Chain A
Amino acid sequence: DIQMTQSPSSLSASVGDRVTIACRASQSISPYLNWYQQKPGKAPKLLIYTASTLQGGVPSRFSGNGSGTDFTLTISSLQPEDFATYYCQQSYSTPLYTFGPGTKLEIK
């Protein structure tokens, strides 16, 4: 089974900051890595698929990068609505999927 880790597990930042969240897979999965955003009490929302493709309607301040086992999600300039928990997900082993443990992004 493919295992996913994320770092950091939590992160404090200010509006306007640039932040990067890392995701690592236990084996090479490139480019089959997706990112989701979840706000409290809400369903997850797809942000990025296949490592770097922005889902329609997602602001361009979000970007994804990476290859092999190491991937990143970057928010170029944090907005108030971006404070949420972010999950990566591997889809290399489709139709079996694994999510990372999540990174909680909080307001400093």
Chain B
Amino acid sequence: EVQLLESGGGLVQSGGSLRLSCAASGFTFTSYAMSWVRQAPGKGLEWISTISGSGGGTYYADSVKGRFSISRDNSKDTLSLQMNSLRAEDTAIYYCAKVRVLTAVRGGYFDYWGQGTLVIVSA
């Protein structure tokens, strides 16, 4: 059974940093890209970052580029998101998701999601 368990959320001051983790189990972690998706209170879903299975490719939404860094430890089946220079608008539930990709350049979809971890950035 695929399981994704996020941790590391909490309350942080504006300008501060936080590191989120996602522990994966139930699948061959290194074979799949992984993503982070966030959801601000009462708002919709926002994709923020994806990392390839090897970790060699990383991709970011413009809203977090230069402030957030995605990484993975394939020896520990763990995905991470380092968040720096946090702003009030980064307040959200952060979900990690397993990505299946149909081709090398098209057709990814998020087939499993964690339950999320809440990040609150105080002004």
Q: Which residue numbers of A lie inside 8 Å of B, CB to CB? A: 1, 32, 34, 36, 38, 42-46, 49-50, 55, 87, 89, 91-92, 94-102
Q: Across chains A and B, which 7 residue pairs bring their CB atoms closest together, nearest first?
A: A43-B113, A49-B109, A94-B108, A97-B47, A95-B50, A99-B45, A102-B44
| Alpha-carbon separation in the docked complex, A34 to B82 (Å) | 28
Q: Which residue numbers of B lie inside 8 Å of A, CB to CB? A: 33, 35, 37, 44-47, 50, 52, 57, 59, 61-62, 95, 99-102, 105-111, 113-116
CB <8 Å contact, A94 and B107: yes
Which residues of B sit under 8 angstroms from A36, Cβ to Cβ? 45, 110
| Alpha-carbon separation in the docked complex, A98 to B101 (Å) | 15
CB <8 Å contact, B111 and A87: no
| Alpha-carbon separation in the docked complex, A45 to B50 (Å) | 18
CB <8 Å contact, A97 and B35: yes
The chain A residue sitting closest to B60, CB to CB, is A96
Q: Nearest-CB distance from A17 to chain B (Å)?
A: 24
Interface centre among B52, B101, B108, B111 (most CB of A within 10 A): B108
